[in-house]
Amino acid sequence: MSPPEPAAPARSTPSAPSDAASSTAPAAPTTPSPGSPAAPSVPARDLGEHPGVQRVLAALAVHGVEPQVVVLPDAARTAAAAAAALGVSTAEIANSLVFRAHDEDGTVSPLLVLTSGAHRVDVVKVAELVDGIDHLERADADFVRAATGFAIGGVAPVGHPAPIQTVVDVSLSRHLYVWAAAGHSHTVYQTTYEELLRVSGGHAIEVA
């Protein structure tokens, strides 16, 4: 049985994007104060100007999402590391995994799988569920950076140089809130399953 889900910070209902919203700078990453619900107290790092974090915040702002970015004390390159730092279960971590998708005509393109940190992606199953894909293989660091603009460990659901075909693990819907990378290996933000589907344009499937 997974541990009780932490209480989530109060969140206002996102407003629809507008011309005025584009002139407002996205909220900078912050370190939560001691005792903040669902967020640990960690040493502050100034990542507000990091280009990866800024790209994520700007992309989310287009969808009316302005999250509080949490700065972790150490790089969270695995779901287990992120979960330990946040005090949540690995199932509440939305991993952003990039695969090389080989189409039936031989073309190779990136596929982004937003999956529960508790799961190991079944590449055969996912290939069968996604139209046009013959088979999948795990991407290397160079392919991931070229496709997403992020290094492994900081790959976010949004903020990529170009749109990426995305699927979202349906098991993330079991949790009220989940945590996703925010463009740097030390940054994460709190989101929801429904919000991940909306901002990524992804399709919900079983991945394990």
What are the pLDDT digits (tens) for 123-176? 999 999 999 999 999 999 999 999 999 999 999 999 999 999 999 999 999 999
pLDDT score, position 78: 86
Task: Give the list of residues 6+ apart from residue 14 with CB closer than 8 angstroms, or none.
Answer: 63, 64, 65, 66
Helices (H) then strands (E): counts for the chain: 5, 8
The phi and psi torsions of 195 (rounded to 5 degrees) equal -70, -40
Q: Give the lowest-confidence range in 11-15, 56-60, 66-70, 74-78.
A: 11-15
Task: Give the list of residues 6+ apart from residue 182 with CB closer than 8 angstroms, or none.
Answer: 29, 52, 53, 56, 57, 67, 69, 70, 154, 156, 188, 189
Strands 203-205, 93-103: pairing is unpaired
Domains in the chain, CATH or no CATH each: 26-205 (3.90.960.10)
Q: How confident is the model at residue 50 (pLDDT cuts 50, 70, 90)?
A: confident
pLDDT score, position 16: 38
Under 8 Å between Cβ of 98 and 147 = yes
Output the pTM of the full model. 0.78
**Residue 94 pLDDT more than 90?**
yes
**Residue 11 pLDDT more than 60?**
no
pLDDT score, position 26: 43
Q: How confident is the model at residue 68 (pLDDT cuts 50, 70, 90)?
A: very high
pLDDT score, position 21: 34
Higher pLDDT, 54 or 15: 54
Under 8 Å between Cβ of 137 and 100 = yes
**Residue 24 pLDDT more than 90?**
no
Under 8 Å between Cβ of 68 and 47 = no
Which DSSP helix (H) or strand (E) runs through 190? strand 187-191
